[in-house]
Chain A
Amino acid sequence: MTALPDSTDKKLGLVIDLDTCVGCHACVTACKGWNTQNYGAPLADMDAYGAEPVGSFLNRVHAFEVQPEAGAAQTIHFPKSCLHCDDAPCVTVCPTGASYKRVEDGIVLVNEDACMGCGLCAWACPYGARELDQDAGVMKKCTLCVDRIYNETLPEEDRVPACVRTCPAGARHFGDFADPESNVSKLTAERGGMALMPEQGTQPVNRYLPPRPKDTMEEVDVLAPLLKPVAEEPKGFLGWLDKALEKL
């Protein structure tokens, strides 16, 4: 049934640090790689070597520019994937029962064997976290790498989502938001982790850490004294010449 569970035992999700993300897109590549070679239908690319390639991705990095009231504009790289919402609208709209939220850990998943590719869940998601695979005709979304995080055949340090494992800047953190002592809960509390579009009422699990306030430097213009105009009004012989030429 595509009814949402009243509560989940764990609330697995990501913390994404907008202060440290450098916008390298490594998480995008790692995600595409893992999720193409493992669980479910591969993330297809259509017309991959042609003029207009398009493909399915579960994670994409936007870049925004924010202009504060005073001071310089800031560039902020913004990775976006499924937020594994507590009140996930994508799940309840699903007519076939393909979409579901797991009671044990809160991960929102798609059972591809039941998906008919109507696309209504993608319409219901305000975040654009779901993409219909153009080759397989089924809905794809972030699984939090459910086939890594519990996978005992992998070394322990690899049992995190591929995007988290690969991030060279340490901007992505994986953990259980239901546990107030977890790394993600502490980071969220310390840094004021934000929910995206709270007005949509989806209660997303993932949190975004806002960029830290920028330092402001006192304006000291070391070159100013050296760049003063040397002589504004010519004097002496040049002054006489200037006047004489002007009168001509």
Chain B
Amino acid sequence: MHPAPSVILFTTLSGLGFGLLFYLGLGIPDVSGFVAFVFFFIGYALACGGLVASTFHLANPKNAVKAFSQWRTSWLSREAWLAVSALVVTGLYAACLIFLGLHLPLLGALGALLCIATVFSTSMIYTQLASIPRWNHWSTPLLFLLLALGGGALLAGQATLAGILLLAVGALQAWIWHDGDKRFARAGSTMGTATGLGTIGDVRLFEPPHTGTNYLLDEMVYVVGRKHAVKLRRIALLCMSLLPAAILLLLPVGHLLALVAVILHVGGVMAARWLFFAEAEHVVGLYYGKRGGPAGAQA
């Protein structure tokens, strides 16, 4: 899949922002007044910044408000509702806490629940797609949730918890890469099933339907940069999980070291998210003979 910068930015930042707001809603850390304002500001800046970035990939944004209408069937619509309600509920809780000195734990808990549900709905947009076997797996929501909880704990200043969660993220991500490489083959779609001609013999592309590129190839048959995938996986794992976890668990963490851990983590998540898209093989590639190799179909 085409790794659109707007979507990478959106899922990374909003995941982190909603992760932080989740902890703040639960009263972790127990802050009030100006300190609380700063914490909530960071959470909102990340969550809203991500949401704004997500609208950049719409080709016809004037109809974006209609995305609230199909919550009964569409995860993208559910995400829109959950994101807005999470921001409103958490905002009310934050306003009471900051400006009135009023601590409403039930409201905060509801906001926290909505924040984490938003991250879940984001992950389900990808998980529901049977056309992309690498995403169509229970581990996708688990990864998104663990990442939000780990990154959120990191921003919320919960060093030990964040360290442990980030190690868990690293382990899960490593397994997902290992298992994900086999999912396309496991899903069973080949050039033979795509064309129905597999019963006759081995199918190969003789001529593509067009000499140039098209929307399908640009969007769903992205192959550029895969050759660096192994290197990028190592870098992502180090920056997203291992290095920040080592800093958080082994060193005496002050503001400066925490900032280093945050920067490493965000960079690592972005690299991992780039791979999440770039390595995702859509079955439509079979019609273009672009799904060869170990994860692909018969020759």
A contact set with B: CB distance below 8 Å: 1-3, 18, 28, 52-57, 60-69, 73-76, 78, 80, 89, 92-98, 113-120, 122-128, 131-132, 134, 136-138, 194-201, 208, 210-211
Known interface pairs A97-B66, A122-B220, A131-B214; 4 further A-B residue pairs with C-beta atoms within 8 A, sorted by A's residue number: A56-B215, A64-B195, A64-B203, A114-B63
Residue B31 is within 8 A (CB to CB) of chain A in the complex: no
Known contacts being A53-B212, A62-B205, is A89 close to B73, with CB within 8 Å? no
A119 cross-chain contacts in B, Cβ below 8 A: 57, 59, 219
B287 touches A1 (CB 8 A): no
A132 touches B59 (CB 8 A): yes
B75 cross-chain contacts in A, Cβ below 8 A: 93
Known contacts being A93-B128, A120-B76, A201-B130, is A57 close to B58, with CB within 8 Å? no
A62 touches B57 (CB 8 A): no
Question: How long is the Cα–Cα vector from A126 to B190 in the complex, in angstroms?
Answer: 12
Which 5 pairs from chain A and chain B are nearest by CB? Answer: A117-B59, A137-B59, A194-B196, A117-B60, A60-B209
Question: How long is the Cα–Cα vector from A198 to B59 in the complex, in angstroms?
Answer: 31
Question: How long is the Cα–Cα vector from A208 to B196 in the complex, in angstroms?
Answer: 8
B contact set with A: CB distance below 8 Å: 1, 57-64, 66-70, 72-77, 80, 125, 128-132, 187-189, 191, 193-197, 199-210, 212-216, 219-220, 282-284, 287-288
Question: How long is the Cα–Cα vector from A204 to B209 in the complex, in angstroms?
Answer: 21
B215 contact from A52, A69, A132, A211, Cβ within 8 A: A132
Question: How long is the Cα–Cα vector from A125 to B283 in the complex, in angstroms?
Answer: 9
Question: How long is the Cα–Cα vector from A126 to B187 in the complex, in angstroms?
Answer: 12
A53 cross-chain contacts in B, Cβ below 8 A: 212
B209 touches A196 (CB 8 A): no
Question: How long is the Cα–Cα vector from A196 to B199 in the complex, in angstroms?
Answer: 12
B62 cross-chain contacts in A, Cβ below 8 A: 116
A124 touches B131 (CB 8 A): yes
Question: How long is the Cα–Cα vector from A3 to B77 in the complex, in angstroms?
Answer: 13
B219 touches A116 (CB 8 A): no
Known contacts being A117-B60, A123-B1, is A196 close to B195, with CB within 8 Å? yes
Known contacts being A92-B73, A115-B60, is A210 close to B200, with CB within 8 Å? yes
B188 touches A97 (CB 8 A): no
A131 touches B283 (CB 8 A): no
B200 cross-chain contacts in A, Cβ below 8 A: 66, 68, 74, 210-211
